[in-house]
Amino acid sequence: MKSRSIISSGRFGKVGTGFVALFGFLGAMLIGSSLLAAVPQDQRHIGEEILLEALLGPRQLMVRVATGGCTGKDSFKVEMVKMPSASPQSAPHYVLTLNRIKSDDCKAFFPNGTPVLFDLEKELGLTGIFTYSLANKIYSPPGTGASEESFFGIIKKYFTIKN
């Protein structure tokens, strides 16, 4: 006895094929949306920024962020949380989070984003002895190296770092 698929039999015909296509499309959307959660938002996203790069120094913080051509320092607010000290003698520790507060609706193409520099004392009010860390995620796409415009590309070009 031959076994026949309900969808391929004449009983459901084009309707059955449509259901298969619809379920396939919905499945691809679910898988695709979970993969997209790992990529940075575009420059129109408001909220915690997924960074393209970050360079933390003792008195300055530089990040590279997505842009359409109109992103600047005023596009962001830096949230600072002072953490409890391990001991009375230890320096205070701050956890910084860069949040986008202004959408960039410009349509220029900047695949490497744009750098934004923050002075920790003048702009964020951090003075004296302290430690800090950054809470934002940093996007690391597979198979890409540092471009010449990236922070690491510039460091590699002008400095010799021995392993």
Which one-letter DSSP state was computed for residue 156? Answer: H
pTM surpassing 0.75? no
Q: What is the CA radius of gyration of the chain?
A: 24
Which one-letter DSSP state was computed for residue 36? Answer: H
Task: Find the helix or strand (DSSP H, E) in which 13 lies.
Answer: helix 13-36
Tokens standing for 162? 């021995």
As a whole number, the mean pLDDT across the chain is: 77
pLDDT tens digits for 40-97? 567 668 889 999 999 999 999 999 998 989 999 999 999 999 998 777 788 999 999 9
Give the separation between CA 54 and CA 76, rounded to whole angstroms: 15
